[in-house]
Structure 1
Amino acid sequence: MPTATPDVSIIIVNYKTPQLIIDCLHSVFEHTQGVSVEVIIVDNESGDNSESLVRGAFPEAQFPQVRWFDMGYNAGFGRANNFGMKQARGRNVLLFNSDTLLVDDLISRCSQLLDQQADVAAVGAMQINREGQVHPQLFTRFAQLRRFCYILPERWLNRIFPDSHYADPNQVDWIIGAFLMTRQTTIGQTGGFDERFFMYGEDVEWCWRLGKQGRMLVLHDGFFVHLEYGSDISNATRKVTFINRFKTQMQLSNLLWIRKQYGAGAYLLLMIHYYTLVPIVYGWKISINLRQGKPLFSELTNQRAFAQQVGIFSRFFWATLFNQNRFFKV
């Protein structure tokens, strides 16, 4: 059992992604040279041989940093990370997705930045794909996410929800939880994730609290590969349209975030928007079918999918409105 305090505790949540973690850890140990690290893996009841594959690939004599913990149930992203943060011994803590890869010594750079700049609460980096291309949809402002939640013309939304602006081009409102480093002391001041969130949105809400402790930075000249989807590969092939573009669990979490951060009025306004849209999108498609001479109720797949999503959100309506303490899992 190592006695020296590591500079960075790396926390990875696993749910049936052993090979992704093996590749991830290869990249960590290959590129991280400037700081000492420990690796904490928290398993969300994968029910497979993830542990034996991961720990078998890294004999203890070679990689003694790897520590494995079982949650005993599928706790989601926030609860599992909270558990991992409680086990962490490092001065700084990195939340790192299993479906990510390092391309250089980004961990040392971020750790040293936190050590040297006391006014920075947390730091992240730019996401790229395997080909080195920056992910086109990188939300770093709360207003960007609020605009995404509405199905309205973009020019309207830009006026209603303008972006925040900072003198430092690296400063942001929030950092994606796939690569987010902060201090142990900052976690102690803010608390961990809100454990009502099952998955998605919890990093946005946490960053709102982290941002009260200092600046939030995303290094525009720092990069990590984010393969995305991990164990949720169904989203990679899901057909997306302007109307039917929400991932149900993600949007339910976004609704909880809006309610907590912006209040009941903002939440009610968004839900009224969805309820109003249901008859509008049906009527719009039916009128098109009428003009084109098609059966009135044909080709309504997107409309039905949107109505079904609104129905799922409605199951959590009162719990969200009254900010109840329950697990918001679809």
Structure 2
Amino acid sequence: MDVSIIIVNYKTPQLINNCLQSVYTYTKGVTFEVIIVDNNSQDQSREMVCAHFPDVNWIDMGYNAGFSRANNLGMDHAKGRYLMLLNSDTLMVENLLARFVNVLDQQADVAAVGAMQINRDGQVHYDIFDTFGKIRRYFYIIPQHPFFQKLLYKFVPDTVYADPNQVDWLSGACIMTRPSTVAKAGKLDESFFMYGEDVEWGYRLGKQGRLLMLRDAFVVHLEFGSSEEYRQHLVTHINRFKTQAQVSNLLWIRKQYGIGAYLFLILHYMLMVPVVFIWKITVNLRNRDSLLSGLDNQKEFASQVGVFLRFLPETLLNRKGFYKV
């Protein structure tokens, strides 16, 4: 068998049905199995999916284990020459499995391969962070003025590769690798609940070979497929982080860049709390509004920083755990 496709389910039976239908429609010349790991959906997911695709290997996790632990269990049961992690909210638009298999068959120095993500309308998600530098710069809340942005880029630059397809990491929404590569790099870090785990994994996979994102290969990624609870509803310049995502990202920073980089970010957020309040109060004063009016955005940011600090002791010591908000 060529490929083991691993899909984590959390209350997304219709999305999985759509995803698998697209896989079966577009995949030619490649044999594959489908492993679905269910994170205690407590709904009719199994019945709905297996009614349409009875050959899937359905595994019940028993609790909401998040992304890393569920995918790792799926990898433990995989029989294919290659492992493919695929989100339930993705759709094939071409014979992507065959393209990935061809790359890994012909290029032994490639550790993993992925594709460009697009939306339903075929528009590319240009905000994909394919370098570690892009992600790290996004974490800093600074003015959008070019001077500050150039300064930040100098402080946190991007990795530059000769091959335009080579990247620092690949999204766990659609990635294919070898079992032998995973055996050397290790599986996904199970301290991560959701988000950030694929970035950290990419760092370890990248030590085993090149990571390629095929710029002319595409997969639809609908995003936010699992649940409303992980959406970020109030999106502004200071409140652009999903709380769970940023807790995971801070864990990644600690693991990959050490205590200093982690504490620097935490200190940055702590110092920004009074700054954003003072700025808004100053604006209110200038506009002759009530000094304490319109502070919802600032209060939300302070609340998020409070969550980050709640995880500070465990993250600082890099303790194994389950970093779930």
The answer, yes or no, to whether TM exceeds 0.5 is yes
Does residue 1:213 correspond to 2:208, yes or no?
A: yes
Aligned partner letter, 1:128 = I
What residue identity is the alignment partner of 1:96?
A: L
Tell me what 1:84 maps to: 74
Question: Shift of residue 57 of structure 1?
Answer: 1.5
Query: Aligned to 1:95, what secondary structure does the other structure show?
Result: strand
Cα distance in 2, alignment partners of residues 273 and 195 from structure 1? 27
1:16-35 aligned at under 5 Å gives the runs: 16-35=11-30
Match in the other structure for 2:136? 146
Q: Distance in 2 between matches of 1:20 and 1:233?
A: 15
Name 1:15's counterpart in structure 2: 10
- Residue 179 (structure 2) pairs with residue 184 (structure 1): yes
> Which residue in 2 is equivalent to 1:158?
153
Offset at residue 112 of structure 1 (A): 1.5
Please name the residue that 1:3 is paired with.
none
Root-mean-square deviation over aligned CA pairs: 1.0
Return 5+ residue gaps in structure 2 as ranges.
144-148
Compared CA separation, residues 237 and 244, structure 1 to 2 (3 A) = closer
| Correspondent of 1:246 among 241, 244, 269 | 241
Q: Which amino acid aligns with 1:215?
A: R
CA–CA distance in 2 between the matches of 1:236 and 1:257? 20
Task: Supply the distance in 2 between the matched residues of 1:175 and 1:316 (Cα, whole angstroms).
Answer: 26
Does the aligned pair in 2 maintain the 1:34–1:105 contact within 8 Å? no
Q: Which whole-Å deviations, capped at 9, do the CAs of 1:25-55 have from their partners, x for residues lacking one? A: 0000111112100000000000001000000
Unpaired stretches in structure 1, ≥5 consecutive residues:
1-5
2:146 counterpart residue number: none
Structure 1 position 136, deviation (Å):
2.6
Aligned to 2:109: 119
> What SS is found at the alignment partner of 1:302?
helix
Aligned equivalent of 1:280: 275
SS at match of 2:200: helix
> 2 CA distance for matches of 1:156 and 1:276?
19
Aligned residue number for residue 99 of structure 2? 109
Q: Secondary structure at the match of 2:103?
A: helix
**Amino acid paired to 1:136:** Y
Q: 2:307 aligns with which of 305, 312, 318?
A: 312
What is the deviation of 1:94? Answer: 0.3
Counterpart for residue 68 of structure 1:
58
Name which of structure 1's ranges 238-247 and 18-27 shifts more when overlaid on structure 2.
Answer: 238-247
The TM-score with structure 2 as length reference comes to 0.97
In 1, Cα distance between the equivalents of 2:246 and 2:91?
A: 27
Q: 1:81-140: CA deviations, max 9, x gaps?
A: 000000000010000000000001011110111011000000000000111110131110
How far does residue 232 in structure 1 lie from its aligned partner after superposition?
2.8
Partner of 1:129: 119
**CA positional deviation for 1:231:** 1.5
Letter aligned with residue 140 of structure 1: D
Residue 99 (structure 1) aligned with residue 92 (structure 2): no
Secondary structure of 2:30's partner? coil
Distance, in Å, in 2 between the alignment partners of 1:265 and 1:201 is 19
Q: Amino acid of the residue matched to residue 74 of structure 1?
A: N
SS in 1 for 2:7: strand
TM-score of the superposed pair, with normalisation by structure 1? 0.95
CA pair 237-146 structure 1, distance change in 2 beyond 3 A:
closer
* Partner SS, residue 327 of structure 1: coil
Measure the CA separation in 1 of the matches of 2:155 and 2:229.
33
Letter in 1 for 2:282: S
Aligned residues: 320
8 A Cα contact 2:6 2:74, kept in partner:
yes
Q: Secondary structure at the match of 2:102?
A: helix
1: CA distance, partners of 2:226 / 2:93: 22
Give the Å deviation of 1:236.
5.8
Other structure's SS at 1:127 match = strand
